[in-house]
Amino acid sequence: MEKIVILLGVIILVLSVGVFAGSNDITKDIVDFVENKGISVSDSNISEVNFSDLPSGVDIEKIENSSVVIYEVDYGARPLFVVSSGSKKVVPSVPEYRYRSLLNFGFNGKMSSSGFLNMGDVEGGIEKGYVMMRSGSISGISSILNVVDGKEMEDIEVRIYKDGKIIGLRNGLSADKEGSFVDYDSLSEGIVKFDAGDVISVYVNFGDGVSVADVVTVLEIVS
């Protein structure tokens, strides 16, 4: 039995599958398999996927068996992909779609001391922020603000809090002069993780003698 690692969307499947005798057998087996799953299809609804022109959401990371064949079953809004190879066994896989969202934080006006950013008209806090509805990860942060009072070599940090604790991803800006400052950072999915129910808030930290205004911070999340 061969093992094949295939990435469909973001799902990694390890499949133990075998080989069909010929194209007619493949078509019949695929049709029978799909119809046994309760999906009504005809031969014209099933097409073999060209490896050089994979559909959006299907990415093959590694194949150790050249006899692998992928079929796309067109039966609705979301396609079903059937992977076959080896003995007369087929394995269905529906790609899992990941969603990117933006969490907006800000402060309208002047901040003369460090503090949490607001969410719209709601004041933020160490226990007040966006509540995550499903598990995922933070994949980016961007900030823009105006320094209205600054002193030489004073740094400003825009920090992310999860359930009242600081996490590693943050923006750093220099406040050595007055004016508008921008910073942004991104990272791969799955590094800065959160769970459903976690509270995400944002804090701006700066020292005495500094004031900032019109702060906007955006977090990108993947869930």
Looking at per-residue pLDDT, the higher value among 39 and 156 belongs to 156
The whole-number pLDDT of residue 22 equals 39
Average pLDDT over residues 203-215: 91
Strands 115-116 and 199-205: antiparallel
- The model's pLDDT over 128-153, given as tens digits with 9 standing for 90+, comes to 999 999 999 999 999 999 998 876 65
Residue 195 above 90 pLDDT?
A: yes
Up-side HSE of residue 213: CA atoms within 13 Å toward CB?
A: 10
- The model's pLDDT over 94-129, given as tens digits with 9 standing for 90+, comes to 566 678 999 999 999 999 999 999 998 899 999 999
pLDDT category, 39, cuts 50, 70, 90?
Answer: confident
Between the alpha carbon of residue 24 and those of residues 28, 43, 77, the distances in Å are 6, 11, 27
Looking at per-residue pLDDT, the higher value among 44 and 104 belongs to 104
The whole-number pLDDT of residue 3 equals 38
Q: Domains of the chain, with CATH numbers?
A: 2-93 (no CATH), 100-222 (2.60.120.40)
Cβ pair 157, 172 in contact under 8 A: yes
Q: Which range among 46-60, 157-171, 208-222 shows the weakest confidence by mean pLDDT?
A: 46-60
The whole-number pLDDT of residue 151 equals 67
Nearest to 62 by CA among 4, 9, 18, 14: 4
